[in-house]
Structure 1
Amino acid sequence: MSKKMCSENSSTSKKSGNNPNLTNQSGVQAARQFDFPRYRENAAGGYIEFYAYDPEKGKMRRKRIKLNRIKGITNRRTYARRVIKRLTEQLNNGWNPWIAKDTGDLIVFEEAIKRYEAHIEKMLASGYFRKETYDGYKSYVKIMREYISKKRPTYYVYQFDRKFCVDFLDYVFIERNNGAQTRNNYLNFLRVFSGFLVDKGYLKSKPTDGISPISKRLYKKERECIPLEVVGRIADYCREKEPDFLFACYLLYYCFIRPVEMTRLKVCHFNLKACTLTIPGELSKNKTTQTITLPKKVIQYGIEIGIFSAPIDDFIFSYRLKPGREEIDPKHFRDHWDNVRRALNLKKEWKFYSLKDTGITEMCDRKVAPRHVKDQARHSSLAITDIYLQKSANKASGNRDIIGYDGAL
């Protein structure tokens, strides 16, 4: 190699970015780091080499361009000078050999995630998202960050591609050992997040397009109905060991109130004289105010443990599942259920929410009119639900079939 060429390479190599061991940089500036190209020769021939930051590896990585196809040492060195000049210009302008696009268009992935978090926080504050919806999205983001940290360093939005999504879903389904439904829930989150990135102009298309959920026909529902004799054992145990939790079990079994709705119910929502419970729209899943029937068994037990003696603005479940001023997390019900499940050695498929499925099944088996069951359950399709809501909207009192109803719990 000529002295002139060696001198050129020696002076340019002092520019910032010539550290091949640099691993802790982040942001777009990291992708712009490089070591100036140099021409080298060995027994195998001539080549150009330089280092540039590889976002996939999270460090500087060597790039080699072989020039053996150029015959003659003089021709090869002349050609190398032209290539080095062109490469240097490209590198100075933000080109990166490990990225399929110019670094000038790069968006830092963590910044995109933070913007998404700000978006869902605004949606919650504005009332467009329910608290459980917001909590769900926050949980998905947390696990995605966990995956990035443990399995797949991801620095820029362009790396959020189809392979990322497929591998992340495998991580959720296989490595974290979640069920098929959970895997499908994460796929739905990735679709929503992809749509957000497209809307903001970070991506041109959704990387989730073409990724299919696991068909519901191919997996067994994790939650099962509980045999009635087991339901009786649960009632006996709770009456002795978990009396306050038993009232939550009653509301789920007889009234089909979702756990998250239970945490928002107050004493004032109960009409003991009419044997009804009204769930305001702002507290319910479908944002519609609905009135259901309270069986006398539920009312009598609530009176027995002092639920309806509390101030009317108290939540019926607060600290230790007793009435109080503080709203609790639905996780409290799952924790109490886990205590019951361990004490009675119940199957893991028998979830707390299984009481709702079991209660509806028993009510149907006990020949309660189907339309009354659907009214009470509030879980039919929107079209059918609207019909039943219209019929029950002006009810002055609870349904007679359900008021006197006494099931296995």
Structure 2
Amino acid sequence: MCAYKSRKTILDAVPRYEASSNVDFVKQSTLPVLREGKEWYIEFYAYDPAICRLRRKRIKINRIKKIKDRRAYARDVISRITTQLARGWNPWIAKDVGNLYEFESVCNSYELYIDKMFNGGYFRKQTYAGYKSRLNSLRNYAKTIDKIHYLYQFDRPFIVRFLDYNFIEKDNGAQTRNNYLSWIATFCGWCVEKNYLQSRPTDGISYIDRRHIRKTREVIPQDIVRKIGQWLEVHDKPFLLACYLLYNCFIRPVEMTRLKVGWINVKEGTITIPDDASKNHETMVVTLPIKVLRYAMEIGTFSAANSDYIFSDKLWPGVNQIDPKIFRDHWAKVRKALNLKKEWQFYSLKDTGISEMLESKMASITVRDQARHSSLAITELYTRHLQKANKDVLDWEGSL
């Protein structure tokens, strides 16, 4: 039978710890003892990571009527708990701490993984940068705002709080919130694959319906598009070529950073975008309007080597690949000079070009192929941008 000790004596002996991510802290515990009195219970202390100190655990045994049987039962329970604690069991975690992982250590391992994937050419620069950025944001949140130390604390409620923090408190858009959820699901899948987690805590967390996500950019009026072209022809000739490719050829900014001079076939009036440079991971051929080809010739694009990037340092052809952010920087100068609305973004030129082609009665299938859309349904989404009344309907005179 275990000797009775006063509760005050035990509490005085319980150490308190500063917050730590050391797994050894989680193994801290006291041996279980039997408390006899008005209430009979087995008592011991174990480290609770949620409060960063030892926390008392009590198991009541009053339900056993006979004193002799109660003490025998207590000896058996104390023996089992002592063995479990020695093996690393923690009552506040409900798993063996011998298999407990520090959150920061797992993040470090994941970072090494994405570094390896990028350096090996498996991740594109934009994908890699996005993963790193979101990982750093999650780490900062877990260290300073909603502190966790162990991977088991990275559960569904924590993830929901993190998503709400980015969506509500940081006032990001619904698409940004969805992007974070998509990345976290990928991160959790990696943790499951590496046996850090048994299942993905993101399961059951819903995305915000894309139909409720309103784009912040708008189609640019034709007169404003002409003013932009006129200003660039005087002040930023190489950026005008980039605007031409986005407006007429619907080549995405990140794809433009990969374009090489030799991919243009002047005789055929086309540019081939290989699968490793295309966002869709498919080799595609895009038509270059004669106007765009002539302008590229005027500014000396074809004087560069075939292996040169069309847009390199200062957006002139060269050997260095640039970051897509440079296009946004040049657009910021245009916006400031012409006092453009913030909703008229660089990428708005793509929306504007597609909408104008559809408005000109060009066949939807032609526009689809030029824009490299996977279906006509995607292309026809751009018809919602058309604000002018349909002339055929305006002139319609029916029987009524």
TM-score tier after normalising by the smaller chain length: 0.7 to 0.9
**2:29 maps to 1:31:** no
**Which residue type is aligned with residue 180 of structure 2?**
Y
Structure 1 counterpart of 2:151: 157
Q: Within 1, Cα distance between the matches of 2:363 and 2:104?
A: 54
Query: Contact between 1:316 and 1:323, CA under 8 Å: does it hold in 2?
Result: yes
- Which structure has the higher relative contact order (CA within 8 Å, separation 6+)? 1
- Give 1:91's match in structure 2, choosing from 76, 85, 95: 85
Q: Within 2, Cα distance between the matches of 1:210 and 1:186?
A: 15
Query: Contact between 1:252 and 1:355, CA under 8 Å: does it hold in 2?
Result: yes
Q: Which secondary structure state, in structure 2, belongs to the residue aligned with residue 232 of structure 1?
A: helix
Structure 2 unaligned spans of 5+: 380-400
Q: Within 2, Cα distance between the matches of 1:375 and 1:35?
A: 71
Structure 1 unaligned spans of 5+: 386-409
Structure 2 counterpart of 1:20: 16
Query: Contact between 1:37 and 1:87, CA under 8 Å: does it hold in 2?
Result: yes
Deviation (angstroms), 1:356? 0.5
Deviation (angstroms), 1:214? 0.7
Q: Which secondary structure state, in structure 1, belongs to the residue aligned with residue 317 of structure 2?
A: coil
1:138-164 C-alpha deviation (Å, 9 max, x unpaired): 222122112212222222222221112
- Give 2:366's match in structure 1, choosing from 364, 372, 383: 372
Query: Contact between 1:51 and 1:60, CA under 8 Å: does it hold in 2?
Result: no
Q: Within 1, Cα distance between the matches of 2:376 and 2:82?
A: 63
Structure 1 counterpart of 2:235: 241
Structure 1 counterpart of 2:161: 167
- Give 1:345's match in structure 2, choosing from 339, 343, 358: 339
Deviation (angstroms), 1:125? 4.4
Structure 2 counterpart of 1:303: 297
Deviation (angstroms), 1:84? 7.2
Between 352-361 and 187-196, report the one with greater CA deviation. Answer: 187-196
Q: Within 2, Cα distance between the matches of 1:51 and 1:202?
A: 27
**CA 1:151–1:49: 2 relative to 1, 3 Å:** farther
Matches within 5 A, 1:4-403: 19-24=15-20, 26-34=21-29, 52-57=46-51, 59-63=52-56, 65=58, 89-381=83-375
Q: Within 2, Cα distance between the matches of 1:277 and 1:165?
A: 44
**CA 1:271–1:55: 2 relative to 1, 3 Å:** same
1:189-214 C-alpha deviation (Å, 9 max, x unpaired): 12222222222222222211111111
Q: TM-score, normalised by structure 1?
A: 0.78
**CA 1:53–1:322: 2 relative to 1, 3 Å:** farther
Q: Which secondary structure state, in structure 2, belongs to the residue aligned with residue 191 of structure 1?
A: helix
**CA 1:51–1:247: 2 relative to 1, 3 Å:** farther
Deviation (angstroms), 1:383? 11
Q: TM-score, normalised by structure 2?
A: 0.80
Deviation (angstroms), 1:69? 6.8
Query: Contact between 1:20 and 1:51, CA under 8 Å: does it hold in 2?
Result: no
Deviation (angstroms), 1:223? 2.5
Q: Within 2, Cα distance between the matches of 1:68 and 1:291?
A: 77
Q: Which secondary structure state, in structure 1, belongs to the residue aligned with residue 286 of structure 2?
A: strand
1:292-343 C-alpha deviation (Å, 9 max, x unpaired): 1111221222222222222222111112212211111111112222232233
Q: Within 2, Cα distance between the matches of 1:247 and 1:51?
A: 70
Q: Within 2, Cα distance between the matches of 1:36 and 1:170?
A: 42
Structure 1 counterpart of 2:391: none
Query: Contact between 2:31 and 2:44, CA under 8 Å: does it hold in 1?
Result: yes
Corresponding pairs, count: 372
Q: Within 1, Cα distance between the matches of 2:224 and 2:40?
A: 79
Q: Within 1, Cα distance between the matches of 2:48 and 2:163?
A: 24
1:48-75 C-alpha deviation (Å, 9 max, x unpaired): 8765433234x224426498979xxx99
Query: Contact between 1:109 and 1:154, CA under 8 Å: does it hold in 2?
Result: yes
**CA 1:152–1:312: 2 relative to 1, 3 Å:** same
**Which residue type is aligned with residue 249 of structure 1?**
C
Query: Contact between 2:26 and 2:97, CA under 8 Å: does it hold in 1?
Result: yes
